[in-house]
């Protein structure tokens, strides 16, 4: 099974969200009977075949299971559909004054930050074609990050009851050794097609996280590869390693 990837470099969050939605629509359109109708971006109805044609500019090849987008965003905070607005600790106007944006979006999870120095990975994949369920898929994303951070001598892992990838001992905070999140994960799935994904802190300015309760937690910290190793790591190197591990774990050929 093949999956393509696109390295988008730096891209505005909303523009990237729109691209995700286009790719998502292309995949879900394949899964509908031809007589089904779908609602397009203008609010009018069209057939599934029409929807596939409308997304030809960014369509996913018929033989592929999907596309992976890699990107860095300008500063932006996103709140998941089940998130709590009070986990944003300063007014939205203050964020805008600092040059950051805010979006309430349709993924799972609470509030998180995206910005320069952070590798954001958006896999738009058909899980039925991959032969896995949603829980296994999320575990696969976590495992790809765990293997990637291990290449830099970082012992990261999972914590019971909390999504994402963490550094630190145990499932509860313990003073100076409290868990620190190095990667946030939030996924949307419909008809077994995924959107959104994970955000791995490579050399992110962690001060941005002080304006929120990251992922809704008030008693846990954040980390990056740079903060844990004390050195800057090339972003392109991290991208290559993430794709290698995703290919291994999902058992797909990832090509550009």
Q: Answer yes or no: is 217 a known binding residue.
A: no
Q: Answer yes or no: is 51 a known binding residue.
A: no
Q: Is 183 annotated as catalytic?
A: no
Q: Answer yes or no: is 245 a known binding residue.
A: no
Q: Answer yes or no: is 103 a known binding residue.
A: no
Q: Answer yes or no: is 167 a known binding residue.
A: no
Q: Is the dihedral of CA 130, 253, 121, 30 positive or negative?
A: negative
Joined tokens for residue 200: 């791995």
DSSP state of 250: H
Q: Answer yes or no: is 139 a known binding residue.
A: no
| CA dist., res. 133 & res. 223, Å (int) | 29
Which among 81, 103, 82, 80 has a CA at the least distance from the CA of 92? 103
Q: Answer yes or no: is 216 a known binding residue.
A: no
Query: What stretches of 85-161 adopt beta strand conformation (E)?
Result: 101-104, 111-114, 118-125, 156-159
Catalytic residue among 16, 121, 183, 215: 215
Binding-site residues sit at 107-114, 184-186, 197-199
Residues acting as catalytic residues = 215
Binding-site residues for substrate sit at 107-114, 184-186, 197-199
């Amino acid at each position: 099974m093949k999956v393509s990837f696109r390295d988008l470099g730096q891209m505005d969050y909303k523009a990237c969200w729109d691209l995700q939605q286009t790719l998502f629509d292309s995949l879900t359109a394949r899964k509908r009977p031809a007589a089904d109708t779908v609602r397009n971006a203008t609010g009018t109805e069209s057939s599934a075949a029409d929807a596939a044609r409308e997304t030809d500019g960014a369509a996913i090849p018929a033989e592929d299971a999907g596309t992976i987008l890699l990107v860095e965003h300008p500063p932006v905070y996103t709140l998941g559909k089940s998130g709590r607005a009070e986990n944003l600790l300063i007014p939205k106007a203050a964020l805008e004054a600092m040059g950051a944006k805010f979006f309430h979006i349709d993924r799972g999870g609470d509030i998180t930050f995206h910005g320069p120095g952070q590798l954001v990975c958006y896999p738009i994949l058909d899980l039925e074609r991959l032969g896995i369920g949603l829980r296994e898929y999320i575990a696969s994303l976590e495992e790809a990050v765990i293997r990637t951070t291990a290449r830099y001598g970082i012992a990261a892992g999972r914590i019971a009851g909390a999504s994402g990838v963490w550094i630190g001992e145990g499932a509860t905070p313990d003073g100076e050794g409290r868990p620190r999140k190095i990667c946030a994960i939030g996924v949307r799935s419909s008809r077994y097609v995924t959107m959104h994904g994970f955000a791995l802190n490579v050399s992110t300015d962690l001060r941005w996280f002080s304006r929120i309760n990251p992922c809704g937690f008030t008693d846990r910290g954040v980390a990056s590869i740079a903060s844990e190793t004390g050195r800057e790591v090339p972003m392109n190197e991290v991208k290559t390693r993430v794709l290698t591990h995703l290919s291994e774990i999902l058992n797909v050929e990832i090509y550009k």
